[in-house]
Structure 1
Amino acid sequence: MSRAFTREEDSENAIAGIGERPISQHRNLVTQRGLALIDAELAVLRDDLARAEKRADRERIALISRDLRYWTARRESAELSVPEPGSDLVRFGMGVTLEGDDGRKVHWKIVGEDEADPAKGTISHVSPMALALFGKKVGEIAVVNGKEWEIVKLSDN
């Protein structure tokens, strides 16, 4: 067996070891923005794959292909959900302003898992906070991790 063949085999094992991205078992609810983000990610990955294939960069091709499989599966399972305008109950896709027992206010928009970014004010619909809020109205209390939050405002954004 030549050393070149051995190196190629080692390289294939390293690439094969990247593993798949785990796909959530929860419903893949998405906002209109979330759906657009998935579509944009797929377009970028397809362009990246074409460039990697031109360079014959096997490791990059493997990584991009893995991400393409993930985002393709997420696109195929996406369920667009738009909140009912004027709803007085917390629903997916809505903005919720809360006030803690210390008087501090926070605002969260409840979105899909892939769109969630708490640092930017969005939380996943399967997060403990979202689950505690669903179905509640302004003036009601949600308890998360022993802390009480009063719902003070609902919005469509």
Structure 2
Amino acid sequence: MSRAFVNEDNAAAQADQPVERQVSAQPNYVTPTGLAQLQARVADLQALRSQQAARGDLADKQRIADLERDLRYFKQRLQSAQIVAPTSSDQVRIGHWVTFVDEQDHEQRVQLVGEDQADAASGLINWGSPLGRALLGAKVGDEVIWKRPVGDLAIEVVTIDLQ
């Protein structure tokens, strides 16, 4: 098509629209802490959007579009949240802290959490990740296979704790 027939105003407006955030297909299981974090995130985004809107003509329209996109995403995550309160169990469940050792006796402690709460640097592991799936349902003394991109690793569950 010739550029003479392109509506440049519409093309520019479409280029400025943020790409929607992808919503995971896995169930949105959250711990009570994860639910509180989602609620706080929605409240923060609403406050930021209100601040931008209050600026009137001086508002950053791209920033508002980004905030509205994120707000749609987190509201949807909040609506689909299924709270899983950790309970005492002899099997690893969402919300449990798990200590495991690998083949070289390196010990690691992680908590299985929902996808939005996950933070590997803090030991918070998405239950749907390869490590989370390997640990889910395991008992103390069980050896499970952690299917990693760099190769499978046998790990043994040492402890399961609520806190």
Instruction: State TM-score, norm by structure 2.
Output: 0.87
Shift of 1:14: 2.6
- 2:69 is aligned to 66
SS at match of 2:23: coil
Shift of 1:139: 0.5
- 1:15 is aligned to 16
SS at match of 1:82: coil
Q: Give structure 2 stretches of 5+ with no counterpart.
A: 1-6
SS at match of 1:51: helix
Shift of 1:13: 2.3
CA distance in 2, matches of 1:130, 1:13: 39
| Number of residue pairs aligned between Structure 1 and Structure 2 | 150
SS at match of 1:144: strand
Amino acid of the structure 1 residue aligned with 2:130: P
Shift of 1:9: 4.4
- 1:134 is aligned to 136
Show structure 1 runs of 4+ deviating over 6 A: none
SS at match of 2:70: helix
Written as runs of structure 1 = structure 2, the 5 A alignment for 1:1-157 is 9=10, 11-16=12-17, 18-55=18-55, 56-85=59-88, 87-145=89-147, 146-157=152-163
SS at match of 2:139: coil
Encode CA deviations 1:135-155: one digit per residue, 9 max, x unaligned.
Answer: 111001011132111100000
How large is the RMSD of aligned CA atoms in angstroms?
1.4
Identity of aligned residues (%): 36
SS at match of 1:109: strand
